[in-house]
A and B are shown apart, each in its own frame.
Chain A
Amino acid sequence: MILSSPSTASRPASRLYLARGAVALDLRGVEIKVLIGFLVAMALLIFAGGYTYTTNIAFADSVEWVAHTQEVRVSLAELSGSVANAELAQRDFLLSAEQGRKDAFELLIAESTKRLDLLTNLVKDNPSQEVNLGVLRSAVARRIEVMRGAFTAFDHFGVAAARAVVAVARRANGTSAADILAQTSRMDEVEVRLLHERQAASAHNRVITFLSLVITLALATMLFMGLFRGIRSEMKRREDLERELEAKAKQLGESNQELESFSYSVSHDLRAPLRAIDGFALMIEEDYIARLDGEGRRYLAVIRENTKRMGALVDDLLAFSRLGRQAIAKSAVNMDALVREVLDEALRDHKGTPPLIQMEHLPVAHADRGLLRQVWANLISNALKYCSKSERPTITLSGQRGATECAYVIKDNGVGFSMDYVEKLFGVFQRLHRTDEFEGTGVGLAIVHRIISRHGGRIWAEGKINQGAVFTFALPLGENDG
C-alpha cells in the first residue's frame, strides 16, 4: 500500500504534463492557421486600397481629360472667331479705308496664328486630330493669303481691284470663312465624341471598381469573421481544457492530501506501539534480568532487535514516500564539498578497518542539494558497508562532465553482486544479502533511484561477486551550464 501510493500520485502528474504538451502543440497549428487567415485578409485589404488608389488616379485623369477637351473646343471656337473677325475687319477696311481696321485685321491674324500653335500642342496626342488640324491650318493659311492679296490690290489699284481679288479667290479654291468654320466644327465634333467615349469608359470603370471593392471588402470581412469565430472556439476549447486541468489538479491535490494523512498516520501509529514493545522489553531487561535465564535473555534481545528493525523500516518507508511529494529546488551544487561532508560523517560512525578513499575532482551538479546529500549518504554508506569485510577496503569516487549530463561514479572493492540480480537492486525492500550478513532495510538504493529519476537523471550499477560494485549516476546539465 505504501509502495503503490507514491507512484499513483506521480502518474496523474505526468499526465498533466503531457496534456500541457498537447496544448503547446495545438497552439502552434492554430497559430499558423490564424496567421495565414490574417495575411490573406491583409492582402485583400491592401489590394482594395491599391485598387482604390489607381481608380482615383484614373478619375483625376478623366477630369483632366474633360478639361483638355474643353480647352481644345474653346481654342477651336476662338480660332474660327478670329478668322471670321479678321474677315469682317478686312471688309470694313475695304468699305472705309480706315487704317484702324487694318491694324485690327493684323491683330486678329496674329491671334489666329497663336491659336493654331496652341491647338497644335493640344492635339499632339491624337494623330487623327493632328491630320484635321493640318487641314485647318492650310485652310486658314490660304484664307489669310487671299486676304493679304486683297490688301495688296487695294494699296496698288484701289477698292475695286481688292474686291475682285476676293471674288476671284472665292471662285478659285473655295476657301471661305464658312469652310474654316466647317473644319473647326468637325474637329469639335471629334473632341465631343472623344469626351463621350472617355466618360463612358470611366463610368464603366467606376462600376467595375465599385463591384470589385465591394467583393474584396466582403471577402475580407468574411475572413475576419471566420477568424474571429475560429479564435473564439479555440479560446473556448482551451478554457474547457483549463477547467478540466484544474479539476484534475484539484483531484490530484486531494489524493495527495489523503496520501499525506495516510503517511502521517503510519508515522505516528506504527511507531507508538513499537516504542512500547521496545520500552517494556527494556524494562524487563532492567528490572527482571536476574530472574531470566540465558534463553529468556536471548528472546528479549531478539524482540528488541526486531523492534528496532521495524522502526528503521517505518522510517525509511516514510522517507521514501515523502520523496514523491517533496518539491525539488535545484541550484548549483559543489559536489566536491558535498561528498567530503558526507564522507566525513560516514567515516566518523564507521566501525572496522578505515577504507582507503580515492577521490577525483567532481563536476558541479545542477540539483537539489539536500536530496543529493541523501544520494551520496546512501551510496557511500553502502560502499562502506559492503567493503567492510575486504582485506584492504578501497572506495574510488570520480566524475565527468559530458555534453548533456554529468556522470558520477562510486566504486568499491567489496563483496559486489551478481549481475543476475541487477534488476532487483533499485527496488524497494529488495536485498541481495541477508540481514545477518549486512544490515539494511532495502530502501536505500530505492531512495537513491527515486531522487535521481526525479531530477531527470539515470543510475545504473555493475558488479561481480567478491570483486566490488560500481554505481554510476548521471544528472542533466542545468540551463546555465550549457
Chain B
Amino acid sequence: MDELAAADILLVEDSDADAELTIRALRKGNLLNKVVRVRDGVEALEYLFQEGEFLKRPGGNPKLVLLDMKMPRLGGIDVLRRVKMDERTKLIPVVVLTSSAEDRDIIETYQVGVNSYLVKPVDFAEFTQVVAQVGLYWAVLNRQPP
C-alpha cells in the first residue's frame, strides 16, 4: 500500500471488533483501496482537515467516509455536520454505518446531508455483504464531482 497517498476510505469506528470486521468485509468484497481507520469524531476531523496528528498526512480527500454514530468524545452526527458545512469537505460522500435503526437518527443525519444511512446487521454474513456493496458503490462505481 502506498503510504504517501491519501486514504480512499476513511473508517470512523470506536469499536476495534467492528473496525476489524468492516475492514475484513471490504477486503472480502475485493476492495483493495487504502483504508484508514480513526477511533472517534475528533480524530476523524483532524484527519479530514489535516490537523493535529494528521498535520503531515498526504493531501487530498478520501473517496468515502464510513461513519459510526455513537462514539466517545465527538459523535457521528457532529462530524457529519462539520464535514457538510465546510467547503473543503462537503463533497466527500459520507455513509453512516451504525447499529442504531432509530427513526430519529435517520431523519437527523439526512437533514444534515448524509449520502446514505445503513444499519449494521448482527449477522456477519449479511454485514459483509452490506459493507462490500457500500465500498464498491461509493469508492469504485460512483462518479464524484471533480
Q: What are the residues of chain A within 8 A of B69 when measuring CB–CB?
A: 268
Distance in angstroms between the alpha carbons of A281 and B50 in the assembled complex: 37
Judge whether A268 and B100 touch: CB under 8 Å. yes
Distance in angstroms between the alpha carbons of A185 and B121 in the assembled complex: 127
Q: What are the residues of chain A within 8 A of B137 when measuring CB–CB?
A: none
Q: How many A-B residue pairs have CB under 8 A?
A: 65
Q: How far is the CB of A374 from chain B (nearest CB, A)?
A: 15
Judge whether B125 and A282 touch: CB under 8 Å. yes
Distance in angstroms between the alpha carbons of A314 and B21 in the assembled complex: 21
Q: A264-B100, A268-B70 are in contact. Are A308 and B21 (CB under 8 A)?
A: no
Stretch at the interface among A30-38, A131-139, A160-168, A271-279: A271-279
Q: What are the residues of chain B within 8 A of A280 when measuring CB–CB?
A: 17, 21
Judge whether A276 and B123 touch: CB under 8 Å. no
Distance in angstroms between the alpha carbons of A178 and B21 in the assembled complex: 146
Q: A276-B15, A276-B18, A279-B21 are in contact. Are A267 and B101 (CB under 8 A)?
A: yes
Q: Is the C-beta of B98 less than 8 angstroms from some C-beta in chain A?
A: yes
Contact with A along B85-99 (1 / 0, CB 8 A): 000000000000011
Q: A268-B70, A282-B125, A308-B122 are in contact. Are A275 and B101 (CB under 8 A)?
A: no
- Cross-chain contact of A311 among B18, B100, B123, B125 (Cβ < 8 A): B123
Q: What are the residues of chain B within 8 A of A282 when measuring CB–CB?
A: 124-125
Distance in angstroms between the alpha carbons of A279 and B127 in the assembled complex: 9
In A275-298, which residues have CB < 8 Å from any B CB? 275-276, 278-283
Q: What are the residues of chain A within 8 A of B70 when measuring CB–CB?
A: 268-269
Judge whether A275 and B104 touch: CB under 8 Å. no
Q: Is the C-beta of B63 less than 8 angstroms from some C-beta in chain A?
A: no
Chain A contact residues: over half helix, strand or loop, or mixed? helix
Distance in angstroms between the alpha carbons of A315 and B121 in the assembled complex: 10
Q: Is the C-beta of A106 less than 8 angstroms from some C-beta in chain B?
A: no
Q: Is the C-beta of B24 less than 8 angstroms from some C-beta in chain A?
A: yes
A-B contacts, 18 listed (Cβ < 8 Å): A267-B99, A268-B69, A269-B70, A271-B99, A272-B15, A273-B17, A275-B17, A275-B21, A275-B124, A275-B127, A279-B24, A280-B17, A282-B124, A310-B122, A311-B122, A311-B123, A315-B101, A318-B101
Q: How far is the CB of A86 from chain B (nearest CB, A)?
A: 119
Distance in angstroms between the alpha carbons of A276 and B21 in the assembled complex: 8
Q: What are the residues of chain A within 8 A of B2 when measuring CB–CB?
A: none
Q: Is the C-beta of A176 less than 8 angstroms from some C-beta in chain B?
A: no
Closest residue of chain B to A287, judged by CB? B24
Q: Is the C-beta of A179 less than 8 angstroms from some C-beta in chain B?
A: no
Judge whether A307 and B100 touch: CB under 8 Å. no
Q: A267-B100, A268-B100 are in contact. Are A308 and B15 (CB under 8 A)?
A: no
Q: Is the C-beta of A260 less than 8 angstroms from some C-beta in chain B?
A: yes
Residues in chain B within 8 A of chain A (CB atoms)? 15, 17-18, 20-21, 24, 69-70, 98-102, 104-105, 120-125, 127
Q: What are the residues of chain B within 8 A of A260 when measuring CB–CB?
A: 102, 104
- Cross-chain contact of A264 among B21, B102, B121, B123 (Cβ < 8 A): B102
Judge whether B17 and A268 touch: CB under 8 Å. no
Closest residue of chain B to A265, judged by CB? B70
Distance in angstroms between the alpha carbons of A360 and B105 in the assembled complex: 41
Q: How far is the CB of B57 from chain A (nearest CB, A)?
A: 28
Judge whether B125 and A275 touch: CB under 8 Å. no
Q: How far is the CB of B107 from chain A (nearest CB, A)?
A: 13
Judge whether B104 and A274 touch: CB under 8 Å. no
Distance in angstroms between the alpha carbons of A260 and B102 in the assembled complex: 9
Q: How far is the CB of A263 from chain B (nearest CB, A)?
A: 8
Judge whether A267 and B102 touch: CB under 8 Å. yes
Q: How far is the CB of A356 from chain B (nearest CB, A)?
A: 33
Q: What are the residues of chain B within 8 A of A274 when measuring CB–CB?
A: 122
- Cross-chain contact of A268 among B21, B98, B121 (Cβ < 8 A): B98
Q: What are the residues of chain B within 8 A of A281 when measuring CB–CB?
A: 124
Judge whether A307 and B122 touch: CB under 8 Å. yes
Q: How far is the CB of A252 from chain B (nearest CB, A)?
A: 18
Q: What are the residues of chain A within 8 A of B21 when measuring CB–CB?
A: 275-276, 279-280
Q: What are the residues of chain A within 8 A of B105 when measuring CB–CB?
A: 264
Distance in angstroms between the alpha carbons of A272 and B71 in the assembled complex: 12
Q: What are the residues of chain A within 8 A of B123 when measuring CB–CB?
A: 278, 308, 311
Q: How far is the CB of A259 from chain B (nearest CB, A)?
A: 12
Q: A268-B69, A282-B124 are in contact. Are A275 and B102 (CB under 8 A)?
A: no
Q: What are the residues of chain B within 8 A of A307 when measuring CB–CB?
A: 122
Contact with B along A123-151 (1 / 0, CB 8 A): 00000000000000000000000000000
Judge whether A278 and B101 touch: CB under 8 Å. no
Contact with B along A243-272 (1 / 0, CB 8 A): 000000000000000001001100111011
Contact with B along A295-315 (1 / 0, CB 8 A): 000000000000110110011
Q: What are the residues of chain B within 8 A of A269 when measuring CB–CB?
A: 70, 99
Q: What are the residues of chain A within 8 A of B101 when measuring CB–CB?
A: 267, 315, 318
Enumerate the 10 nearest inter-chain pairs by beta-carbon distance, A residue then B residue, closest first. A311-B122, A276-B17, A279-B124, A279-B21, A271-B99, A282-B124, A268-B99, A278-B124, A274-B122, A268-B70
Q: How far is the CB of A337 from chain B (nearest CB, A)?
A: 25
Known: A264-B102, A278-B122, A315-B101. 8 other contacts (CB 8 A): A264-B105, A268-B100, A271-B99, A271-B120, A273-B17, A275-B21, A278-B123, A308-B122
Closest residue of chain B to A283, judged by CB? B24
Distance in angstroms between the alpha carbons of A260 and B123 in the assembled complex: 25
Q: How far is the CB of B79 from chain A (nearest CB, A)?
A: 16
In A307-356, which residues have CB < 8 Å from any B CB? 307-308, 310-311, 314-315, 318
Q: What are the residues of chain B within 8 A of A272 when measuring CB–CB?
A: 15, 17-18, 99
Judge whether A275 and B122 touch: CB under 8 Å. yes
Distance in angstroms between the alpha carbons of A272 and B68 in the assembled complex: 11
Q: What are the residues of chain A within 8 A of B124 when measuring CB–CB?
A: 275, 278-279, 281-282
